[in-house]
Structure 1
Amino acid sequence: MEQKQLHPSVQEFKEFVQQHPNLVKEVRNGQSTWQELFEDWYLLGDDDPKWNSYKKEDTEKEDKKEEKDSKGLFEQITGILQKMEPDQVQQHITNLSQALGAIQGVLTQFSSGGGATGGTTPQVKSEPQERPNPFSFRKD
Structure 2
Amino acid sequence: MTQKKLHPSVLKFKEFVKNNPNIIQEVRKGNASWQELYEDWYLLGEDDKRWETIRADKKSDSETKTETKGDLMSNLMGMVKKMDPNQVQHHINNLSQALGAIQGVISQFQGSNPTGTQVKPQEGPKHPFLFRKD
Q: TM-score scaled to structure 2, two decimals?
A: 0.62
Unmatched 5+ residue regions in structure 2?
A: 115-134
State the Cα distance separating 1:70 from its structure 2 match. 3.8
Q: Cα distance 1:41–1:80, how it changes in 2: closer, same or farther (>3 A)?
A: closer
The residue correspondences of 1:1-140 to structure 2 (distance < 5 A) are 3-55=3-55, 57-82=56-81, 89=85, 91-113=86-108
Number of equivalent positions:
113
Q: Cα distance 1:71–1:6, how it changes in 2: closer, same or farther (>3 A)?
A: same
Unmatched 5+ residue regions in structure 1?
A: 117-122, 126-140
Q: TM-score scaled to structure 1, two decimals?
A: 0.60
Q: Tell me which amino acid in the other structure corresponds to 2:102.
A: L
Q: Determine helix, strand or coil for the equivalent of 1:113.
A: helix
Would you say the 8 A contact 1:109–1:115 is kept in 2?
A: no
State the Cα distance separating 1:92 from its structure 2 match. 4.4
Provide the rounded CA distance (Å) in 1 between the counterparts of 2:74 and 2:38: 44
Q: Cα distance 1:8–1:95, how it changes in 2: closer, same or farther (>3 A)?
A: same
What's the RMSD between the two structures over aligned residues?
A: 3.2
Provide the rounded CA distance (Å) in 2 between the counterparts of 1:60 and 1:30: 20
Q: Cα distance 1:92–1:63, how it changes in 2: closer, same or farther (>3 A)?
A: farther
Q: Percent identity?
A: 36
Q: Cα distance 1:63–1:103, how it changes in 2: closer, same or farther (>3 A)?
A: farther
Provide the rounded CA distance (Å) in 2 between the counterparts of 1:47 and 1:95: 61
Provide the rounded CA distance (Å) in 2 between the counterparts of 1:32 and 1:79: 39
Would you say the 8 A contact 1:22–1:54 is kept in 2?
A: yes
Q: Determine helix, strand or coil for the equivalent of 2:108.
A: coil
Q: Tell me which amino acid in the other structure corresponds to 1:102.
A: Q
